Amino acid sequence: MTTSWTVVRVLRDRTAGLYLAGAVVSAFGTSSLWLASGVWVKDLTGSDGLAALCPLALWAPTLAGPALGTLADRTRRRPLLVGLELGLAGLLLVLFAVDSPGRVWLLFAVLFLYGAADAVHDAAESALVTAAVGPDLRGDLNGLRMTVTEGMKLVAPLTGAALYAARGGPAVACLDAVTFVLAAGLCALLRVREQPPVRSGDGWRTRTAEGVRQLWGQPELRTLVLAGGTTMLLTSLGSATVYAVVGRLGHSPAYTGVLYAAQGAGSVVAGLLAGPALRRFGEHRCAAAGIALTGASAIARAVPSDSVVLVSGAAAGLGLPCVLVAVLTAVQRRTPGPLLGRVTATAGTLVLAPNVLGLALGAGLVELAGPGLLLPLYGVALLLTAIRTAQRAASASRTASRSPSDANPA
């Protein structure tokens, strides 16, 4: 009942419904290309290492998130989003030239630019949602966006792989380009009254630093963002063990697709529950619960049992999105509109950039120790992070409850 009411709340709002439809279309194209790009590089070069660099090329631009987010505060967000989506559609056509090992660099260049544009897109999108959707609906909308994004990961990679096998990489790039054109059209239909951007003579560095100071100057928000970053670091370290886990179970590497499907199913459920949970418990408690569940799933994944590993994957899929939705909703709620692009991008860097470090470090650690040792260590660290986040929430609640009596002593 709660989940169905969440969907109804969002879809009966025209702006929220259009935004969600655009997210579905974009997520389908992105997820299709995500898998196909690695297979494409592997087929052209025969190198596992080069294929593994594809997700790194997409993630790397998040390191420049604070600077990229400044773009989202310098212009109206809806025209910027439409322009980015059409620009990416055109950029993807470059991939038709990737037909030999010597041109693989073009694919990496496109993926890097794709990631950079996505960082600006996410910042502008967050600011646009704040202007277009009321605060009581944002948690539901952010949760449902997570649901559709993760839901697309269940079907889009298979579609991309089938299209790649039938028609090759350029066909997948064309599919992704079409989805961006459709998303641009849906975005253009949004009815949003945006405040004109604040004109300032300040330079790029000054404006970027302003967004960083805005985030860092709020202890509650800073703590939540850092907890999210720690969670993503530890989760990415655990992700590096996935092939070792599959090997312990006696399956071929292709079995990882089953694990990702289980995780995706958990994420779909998480997105439906996130909005109601945020309204009931608040961002810090939701994040703490999500981190704790992610930690427990990491420990369980060390057990060499198919059923336990599959359940742990679903649990991780349920826990991690709760953390991400809580962080995004808190940023939207606590940040003034003119600064929201920069603050969103800065928070995105602090939360998502640890993935880059975790993927690289985890690949080295799994060569030194097996998942039976590493995963419990990562899980315990996640549980400690959850405890710290919950303690922060309890401290904030006590402070809030004391404020009225402090202000009006007997």
**Domains recognised in the chain with CATH numbers:** 2-189+203-397 (1.20.1250.20)
* Structure-block tokens of residue 54: 């594809």
Q: What is the pLDDT of residue 89?
A: 92
Rounded Cα–Cα distance for residues 230 and 388 (Å): 12
**How far is the CA of 149 from the CAs of 31, 79, 352, in angstroms?**
8, 23, 16
In 17-74, beta strands by DSSP E = none
Q: How far is CA 293 from the centre of its chain?
A: 18
**Residue corresponding to tokens 């660290």:** 381
Q: Look at residues 391, 144, 401, 139 and name the one whose alpha carbon lies nearest to residue 285.
A: 391
From the CB of residue 332, how many other CB atoms can be counted at a distance below 10 Å?
A: 22
Q: Look at residues 110, 35, 11, 53 and name the one whose alpha carbon lies nearest to residue 261.
A: 35
Q: What is the pLDDT of residue 16?
A: 75
Rg (CA), the chain: 21
Q: What is the pLDDT of residue 30?
A: 81
Under DSSP, the state recorded for 133 is: S
Q: What is the pLDDT of residue 201?
A: 52
Question: Is the pTM value of this prediction over 0.75?
Answer: no
Residue type, 107: L
Q: What is the pLDDT of residue 290?
A: 93
Contact in structure between 262 and 314 (CB atoms under 8 Å): yes
Contact in structure between 2 and 269 (CB atoms under 8 Å): no
* Structure-block tokens of residue 300: 């369980």
| Under-50 pLDDT residues of the chain | 1, 400, 403-410
Q: What is the pLDDT of residue 410?
A: 33
Q: What is the pLDDT of residue 203?
A: 61
Under DSSP, the state recorded for 268 is: H
Rounded Cα–Cα distance for residues 120 and 308 (Å): 39
CB-based burial label for 165 (10 Å; 0-12, 13-18, 19+) = exposed
